[in-house]
A and B are shown apart, each in its own frame.
Chain A
């Protein structure tokens, strides 16, 4: 539960008073809160834990860590469907 997953930030935006972003992990994208790494820009790689970016990493480290987590079967939290905003339509989850 305490392992964070590296992904690539594809966009950043403000929502609900927070700096947020979309982060791509393998074939899945997820919304992530960027409040704890406020300097993050699109194209950066970040470690994300339960929907929160906690640290920036370089691309090589991101790939390596992702592969290690895949081998450890520690990516299952990404299978949980994304919760949509009330009133939103369509599927904002996996791409």
Chain B
């Protein structure tokens, strides 16, 4: 399996996705600084305080980061899986004497690991940077502690997982319709639905995250097993 993942790394150009992650990181820092300035406008508004803390799952920054990585993961799935299996390149993939399901799993794992790792790194570094900028400019008075970093780490893992679940559903729809546009549109609809449901129910965010996450995980598992079977039986017409 590791060998197949290494081969995927060799034959796919990851540079555009690294640039994409860098873009999301810069955006995260900018949003973090912007939202940390909100309590200065109205110090008595509790929602401004909540928004300024982007280690909280309901903060707009968290939702935007999760949505961005869900879209990034979907673009990677579109390029590595939908395009390759539904285009002319499938003849090449299907003539390797390797289990088709393992090649697919290697492609999926690459995107899964990349998305989670990039999200965690970007979020934690952004948290540190926003705090540094906040302290220097006086926007943030409370110093960062180990709990905030641990929270950011945990939240990033959960967000990364949910981003991957969303992109997996989008992948399956795109594969079914043999269309990259369908893949991306599905991801955009799902992140909009998820983002809205989380921000509308900010009082119950953690239970909602777990409930939605569990439902999504079951759906994804069923869809992914279906995808493995489909690829195994695919013909090159």
Partners in one complex: no
The interface of chain A, by Cβ under 8 A from chain B, is none
